[in-house]
Amino acid sequence: MPARVAVPALHDAVQAKLREADQLYTSGRRELVEVLAGFDRPVTIYELLETRPKLTQSSVYRNLAGLVELEAVQKVVGADDRVRYEFAEDIIGHHHHLICTECGRVDDFRVPRSTERSLDTALQRAADAAGFAVAGHRLDAVGLCAACAA
């Protein structure tokens, strides 16, 4: 299970990024952060709109784009053409994604610290030949979610 960050802490983190960029935490952005906080996985704009039918697609797009630019929110690429959004890793912590190739669902997953270290070590060993200094990694597992595998 992904570690959930409490909503007030999410607001603080987003507000700090806005302040750094001399931007206001508008009610539209605040509401979007609250909607996004209700999910523990990357979601499409359609999923966001479904939970708050009063939001307009254009305002959600605009506010999402603003938060992506500030690096408070990041885009996640899945197995379909739909862009999904989640809070940036420096806000919700490092994690990985389980990507379903059948329905497109993307779930977060975390691995133990020791596994993270093994991954970094293995990647650095493989990257040594290219003279590449590994600073981090992105790792997705691709396959079938529980519902699609059943």
Among 32, 37, 100, 106, binds Zn ion (CB under 5 A): 100
Distances in Å between the Cα of 66 and the Cα atoms of 36, 83, 145 are 14, 15, 31
* Conformational region of residue 22, where left means phi above 0, alpha means psi within -120 to 50, and beta covers everything else: left
Q: How far is the CB of 78 from Zn ion (least distance, A)?
A: 10
> And the tokens for 52?
């708050």
CB atoms within 10 A of CB 101: 14
Q: Report the residue number, 49 or 145, with the smaller CB distance to Zn ion.
A: 145
Among 103, 122, 127, 141, binds Zn ion (CB under 5 A): 103
Among 105, 106, 107, 108, binds Zn ion (CB under 5 A): 105
Asked if residue 69 binds Zn ion (CB under 5 A), the reply is: no
Question: Do β-strands 140-143 and 96-100 pair in parallel, antiparallel, or remain unpaired?
Answer: parallel
Count of chain residues binding Zn ion (CB under 5 A): 7
**H-state helical runs in 93-145:** 113-128
Amino acid at 98: L
Site for Zn ion, residues 108 to 127, rule: CB under 5 A:
116
Of the candidate spans 1-9, 78-86, 93-101, 125-133, the one that interacts with Zn ion by CB under 5 A turns out to be 93-101
Asked if residue 3 binds Zn ion (CB under 5 A), the reply is: no
- What's the order of all strands across the beta sheet hosting 106-109? 106-109, 96-100, 140-143
Q: How far is the CB of 47 from Zn ion (least distance, A)?
A: 14
Of the candidate spans 27-35, 42-50, 72-80, 95-103, the one that interacts with Zn ion by CB under 5 A turns out to be 95-103
Q: Which residues bind Zn ion (CB under 5 A)?
A: 100, 102-103, 105, 116, 145, 148
